[in-house]
Structure 1
């Protein structure tokens, strides 16, 4: 839900800060006070096109900030994560739009700069605006199938259809790949056979080139390595290290043999034992060092033949790589690929028959899943049509009929989503014929139709905020009361705002804001103001809406009845 809206220097609004509550809030006020300006500002924060004309006269820039409190599982958080925007689902979400008087517009999410397109994507999941000239996502036919599936509870069937479609496409791709490989193998059999013979004789191994390059680098320095190893052996032997350590070790052992010293725990005895132990370890290490030097000498021996063989092997591998147009490391994979194609061309029918059988079985599974989805959709469509028409009757649209149209599509067009395209259609007058929703030309009718659809589809969307702009246009009395009742019902599990001139609609709200306009200031502009009304102020405002400029006692009594009936 929206918890705060801040507007600065936007058209007639100089400064406006709104703290919103849940439920249904009505926005009322005289015509021209600026109710629709507030709606325009909200739309701008949700990604609508910016324009310098929005900036209030003599201001440097206009800015709009809207703050949301959303559940952790709302889709907006996943979208922000995908786009690399830092946002915690356990904090509020703020969208901000800045329109300079001179310069490009800027957009922000949680104070991080983003493009307006992202605001628009977020806006579609956060707020639906139903007004005189739009009905938000309901006018987008691409969404109608999703709305019907959610209404019907088709999530499991839809998932099964999508998974079987992906399996079908994978099987078809595998069959096409085998057929392509077979044609290539048949057309290039002689080349493939010659290539296979060459590569099998060469027998390239994975990682071989890297290993050869490393070995060659070492072998090219083997003379220097051998010389250094020999120098180490000569130095070790020349110093007679082992003999010296042996003599020292025997001397330390004699010290410990003196009477009384071995059993003593004095400083001299401890030092003697420590020296004897250290010399013994050094003697062992010296022996191991001598053995290691011998092994080093053997390994470090300069071998020109090994270097030549490494050079020849590298030359052979690189030559084959150039011949076959691959990197040297790609030769093992090429060998496997060529061998597979030769095997395929030698026994083609079995592989093709298997691939075709698997594709046919996968196609049958998808068609079964798609047919089950289609049946569920058509069954639900009748219930939905009746539910929408039941909502239309009290809204003075009783002559309007609704149908869910199904148009078959080719498999490649929408296999993931079944075998048909879904679109809601209306007939505004009996016998006129059904057509798309946009043929509802009247602004008031469009807003009321959107309201009826939303009531029938109340459980099909997780959009937390809905805004209705003058859904009561051109109606009054019982119809206006029916509109108010439906807006209040929608607010049971989301936040609803309605711009209204109807006292019946305003009385149905759980809260009410009064939009007013001051006279012209020194700069020639008026200013739009907004005030939350308490119960007494609501009563007076509804009485004004009933009677006009002069509030009569009869209007106050009627306002009392309206508020008591809610």
Structure 2
């Protein structure tokens, strides 16, 4: 369940901390009080697009924070793990989002920064939000199929089928491309051969560019290197006043000094090491200078090699590694074109095998759907009867597809006839907005046991229905509250009276600024709120409110 929702500087809300209970939570308030801000805050938590106009006037940023307590966090933990985050501790999940006027928006899950996509992925397992127009999603055949599949409990089978379908389509695409390559022009084949030969003839080696450049740098500067080596060895050992001759003079003095005072020997240990190292240095520099070869032909060869590599890089890749990858791909294409007859036969066989697997898995799913469709229809119809459609007809009609699709071998279309004697037609063609809201609630009620999303939010979906029907809608929401946390934002006292907990959104003007607040009402305060919603004379409205609460109890 959603245990706490904190909203700060969002639209009319300055600072609100809303602690929620389980079951059906009713939210009421006068039009314009700010009830829609709750939905807006939840949409931000679910990763929907943020608009800087939502920030409260005079503020730099707005923040929304939601704390969820999850009885089963497996699905959420899987999303967190994929995002490189730690799993929930004791089922606790905190989602926070900050919208800044400067555009530097931030979002966090359990204090770790995340992307908007992570919020969207988490949202699928946290909140199912339905507004006045969201019931239109029921018109989507894809959404209808998702509902039927949930009722049938075939998620694992669907995952296997989808994986098999993707393999089949990938192989079929590969076959199609190869068959089309049979019609490749001789010019295209010649181009592939030219590219492959040009790269192969260069005989590139991974990592050779650095070695070639190093050799070229030495060869191009051979004379200068020899000159520098000569200067070093000359200073170290040639002629009077050389460093090494000077060190020998110092060494003789040290030797005499140590004879007179052996205690000074330790003082000159570092000197002896330095003398040895400098002598070795002079020898190493001399050897290096001797090995230097100034070969104009070698310099020309190295420059030519560098030019060849640069030319290939301009045409086939930024590095030798990328050029070699291009060569491998070109050779693969050539091989497939030149041996396409054998390859086509192999792929044709594989396509048939994979299609057979798809059909096998698809038929298993089709049977499950065929079994579940009338059961779902019967379940929905029973809930529709509770919602005022006493003699309506509801059906989930399955139609076979001409070829397997990603979702299976058939499509579903919900049919509905709200009144007796009328032929059932596709739901999108028959139901009004008020009827659609009730159908949505009936479907949700039928799927209550299968629906793992813990929080259902209904934002005024009871609009366009009468008083008696509103009570039936409220009772259906209350029944959903037995297995889910349900937030019902409503204008109907019949619905609000059935809520396990009741909150009222109000607004006040202070210092020229409008501020919305939300507070729980109980006892006499709840009676007063229901009386306000009922209208009429104060006394009769209060009595009516009391009778509604008594009936709800």
TM-score normalized by structure 2?
A: 0.72
State the Cα distance separating 1:224 from its structure 2 match: 0.8
Counterpart residue number, 2:233: 233
Within a 5 Å distance, the mapping from 1:40-119 to structure 2 comes to 40-42=36-38, 46=43, 68-70=66-68, 90-93=93-96
Match of 1:34 in 2: 30
Shift of residue 172, structure 1, vs aligned partner: 3.2
Rounded Cα–Cα distance in structure 1 between residues aligned with 2:271 and 2:507: 101
1:404 alignment counterpart: 396
In structure 2, the residue corresponding to 1:460 is in which secondary structure? coil
**Residues matched between the structures, number:** 517
Q: 1:400 to 1:96 in 2, by over 3 A?
A: farther
Is 2:510 aligned against 1:508?
no
Which of 546, 549, 562 in structure 1 is aligned with 2:537? 549
In the alignment, which residue of structure 1 is the partner of 2:367? 375
Alpha-carbon separation, structure 1, partners of 2:416 and 2:308: 75
| Structure 1 position 484, deviation (Å) | 3.4
1:497 deviation in Å?
A: 1.8
* CA apart distance, 1:306: 1.0
| Separation (CA, whole Å) in 1 of partners of 2:253 and 2:517 | 105
Report the CA distance between 1:331 and its aligned residue.
5.6
1:499 Cα shift? Answer: 1.9
- Do 1:64 and 1:97's aligned partners in 2 also have CA atoms closer than 8 Å? yes
SS in 1 for 2:416: strand
Quote how far apart the aligned CAs of 1:405 are: 3.4
Please say which of residues 387-396 and 484-493 is displaced more in the overlay: 484-493
2:478 aligned partner: 488
User: 1:309 is matched with which residue?
Assistant: 301
Q: Against the structure 1 CA distance between its residues 71 and 365, is the aligned structure 2 distance closer, same or farther, given a 3 Å change threshold?
A: farther
- 2:219 aligned residue: 219
Contact 2:35 2:505 in 1 (8 A): no
Instruction: Give the equivalent residue in structure 2 for 1:456.
Output: 446
Bigger drift between 374-383 and 528-537 goes to 528-537
Shift of 1:25: 3.3
- The corresponding residue for 2:130 is 129
Q: Is the 8 A contact 2:65 2:96 kept in 1?
A: yes
1:453-483 per-position Cα deviation (integer Å, ceiling 9, x unaligned): 2211224252624125373865556x66543
Cα gap change, 1:470/1:179 in structure 2, threshold over 3 Å: closer, same or farther?
closer
Q: How does 1:280-295 map to 2 (within 5 A)?
A: 280-295=272-287
Tell me if structure 1 keeps the 8 A contact 2:18–2:518: no
**Partner residue, 2:384:** 392
Q: Counterparts of 2:319 and 2:95 in 1: how far apart (Å)? A: 56
Matches within 5 A, 1:320-339: 329=320, 332-333=324-325, 335-337=327-329, 339=331
Query: What do the CA deviations read for 1:513-565 (whole angstroms, capped 9, x no partner)?
Result: 467999x9xx9xx9999764322343566678889425369947x93695376
- 2-side partners of 1:462 and 1:244: how far apart? 88
Aligned match of 1:440: 431
Matches of 1:318 and 1:50, distance apart in 2: 48
CA separation of 1:37/1:365 partners in 2, compared to 1, >3 Å: closer, same or farther?
farther
Choose the corresponding residue for 1:3, options 2, 5, 16.
5
- Cα separation, partners in 2 of 1:129 and 1:291, compared to 1, 3 Å: same
Contact 1:219–1:307 under 8 Å retained in 2: yes
Match of 2:153 in 1: 153
CA distance in 1, matches of 2:8, 2:312: 70
> Which blocks of at least 5 consecutive residues in structure 2 are unaligned?
84-88, 109-115
Deviation track 1:112-133 (CA, whole Å, cap 9, x = no partner) reads xxxx9999999987462354x6
Q: CA offset at residue 297 of structure 1?
A: 0.6
- Displacement of 1:228 in angstroms is 1.0
CA-based RMSD of the aligned residues comes to 5.4
Q: Which protein is bigger by CA-based radius of gyration?
A: 1
TM-score by structure 1 length?
0.70
Shift of 1:334: 5.5
Work out the CA distance in 1 between the residues paired with 2:105 and 2:196.
Answer: 60
| Within-5 A mapping of 1:174-323 | 174-179=174-179, 183-184=183-184, 200-209=200-209, 211-238=211-238, 269-275=262-268, 277-315=269-307
Contact preservation (8 Å) 1:392, 1:400: yes
- Measured after TM superposition, the shift of residue 327 of structure 1 is 7.4
